[in-house]
Structure 1
Amino acid sequence: MQTLKNIFSSTLHLFYPHVCTGCGSDLLQQDNLLCLECINNLPHTNFAQHNNNPVEKIFLGRIPITAAHSEFYFSKEFLIQQLIHQLKYKNNTAIGFYLGELMGKTLFASNRFNNIDYLIPLPLYPDKEHKRGYNQATIICNGMSEVMNIPVLNDNVIRQKFTETQTRKHRTERWENVEGSFKIKNPETLKGKNILLVDDVITTGATLEACGSVVLQTEGVKLYIATLAHAAK
């Protein structure tokens, strides 16, 4: 019987190969998304353990945040860029959920992100989310929620203005591009709460600053920020 199972498994793998999302290797267990080599090569930052880390310095003097973190270093043409590209443009929500779980484990263990009441994904403009089919920040939050046992709050913070891509803009242009883009539908829900605002990549922080500044207008809110990756300017 075991021999028949092995033959069936080998035949299935031949026609429907299960390969690593990172490198394409087929040397991984059936339920895994990344092979052991790619898992070992993930560029964790360890920012969550440290006050005044590089992400927190981005917001210094701009908006008051309690703590901030990015799980990975982002470099072009390297593994994390490829995985985030898979999440955002290739409909690979499974890898986003998995990376969210990894970040959730880090935050849970750090003791600097205790007492979070809600995870809030940075909202996309509705037309853009409809075209993509999902918000990648929500997928990340769902993975984090699985580990941290914190609810994801969707549809209360909304993006009310379409903005051009930030990629080729410098810091001032990025801020001007997103100013006035966000709105809170029901501030009472956030009143007195500890909010963790989540996105995929942070560079200058302009978009997160614009959204965070609106969240902070609600009485008693404490703001935390977390992103999957930190891209050096």
Structure 2
Amino acid sequence: MINARKWFNDFAHLFFPHHCAGCGSDLVEAHQHICHQCYTSLPETYFAPHHNNPIEKIFYGRVPVSEAMAAYYFSKQSVLQQLIHTLKYRNNQEVGLQLGRWMGGLLKSSGRFTNIDALIPLPLFPEKEKRRGYNQATVLCNGIAEVINIPVVNDFVLRKRYTDTQTKKGRIERWKNVDGSFVVNDSAIVKPEYVLLVDDVITTGATLEACGTAIVESGAKLSIAVLAWASDE
């Protein structure tokens, strides 16, 4: 039976090839969207198990964060950039789920990030999320949740105004652009006591700081996990 299933999969792959979202290779399992070579090429930071890592230092003196980590280093023209682009702009949510599962594995094995009771995706402005059809941070959260079995709560924090892209702004401009953009939803059914705020990429941390500040001011404890760190230095 197993051999018959393998034969069928190989036959189907011949006529309907399944390509890796990172490199385009068709040497990828039917149930996977990222090939083994691309997975092993991802530049892991190894931040998750360590206190005082560079992501935690970003928030020193800015917002109280219990634990923070980035799974991978981000660089332009890299496999990781291609995967993130595929997730955000090509509607490939399966890629995001897989990346989230890998994040979840790092969080689980770190020995930290314990007693969290909700995963909070960094909110998009509602009109932007409607245009895209989904929030990429929510997709990552869904993948993480499969591994660490913590619920995803989408309505605890709201993005109350539209903000321009942060990409070409300096550190101070980034903060001014997002200051006051987030508010905790008083009518949310679930009001977690300790949240893990999740996003795809961190540079200066201004957006996560603005959102995290609203969370902390509500009385909740805050930790942060991001897929990738794009150092601005």
Tell me the TM-score normalised to structure 1 length. Answer: 0.94
Aligned position for 2:143: 143
* Deviations 1:178-216 (CA, angstroms, capped at 9, x unpaired): 11111111288436x111000000000000000000000
**Is this contact kept in 2: 1:187–1:218, CA < 8 A?**
no
Could you tell me how far 1:33 is from its partner in structure 2? 1.6
Instruction: Tell me, yes or no, if structure 1 residue 55 matches structure 2 residue 92.
Output: no
- Let me know the Cα RMSD of the aligned residues: 1.9
2:164 is matched with 164
Q: Which residue matches 1:123?
A: 123
CA distance in 2, matches of 1:3, 1:210: 54
Give the distance between the partners of 2:96 and 2:164, measured in 1 at CA: 24
C-alpha separation in 1, matches of 2:110 and 2:104 = 10
Q: Which runs of 5+ in 2 are unaligned?
A: none
C-alpha separation in 1, matches of 2:50 and 2:177: 31
Task: Name stretches of at least 5 consecutive residues in structure 1 with no aligned partner.
Answer: none
- The aligned residue for residue 41 of structure 2 is 41
Report the secondary structure of 1:196's partner residue.
strand
Q: In structure 2, what is the equivalent of residue 199 of structure 1? A: 199
- Give the letter for the 2:96 counterpart: G
The aligned amino acid for 1:169 is K
Distance 2:32 2:144 in 1: 18
The superposition leaves residues 106-140 of structure 1 with CA deviations (integer Å, 9 ceiling, x where unpaired) of: 11111110110100000000000000000000000
CA distance in 2 between partners of 1:10 and 1:106 (Å): 32
* Shift >6 Å, 4+ stretches: 1-7
What is the distance in 2 between the residues matched to 1:5 and 1:103? 31
Distance 1:94 1:222 in 2: 30
Percent identity (aligned): 55
Aligned to 1:104: 104
2:168 and 2:29 map into 1 onto residues whose CA distance is 40
| Aligned-pair CA distance for 1:11 | 4.4
Is contact 2:156–2:191 with CA below 8 Å preserved after alignment? Answer: no
Q: How many residues align?
A: 231
Q: Which moved more, 1:1-10 or 1:85-94?
A: 1-10
SS class of match (1:200): strand
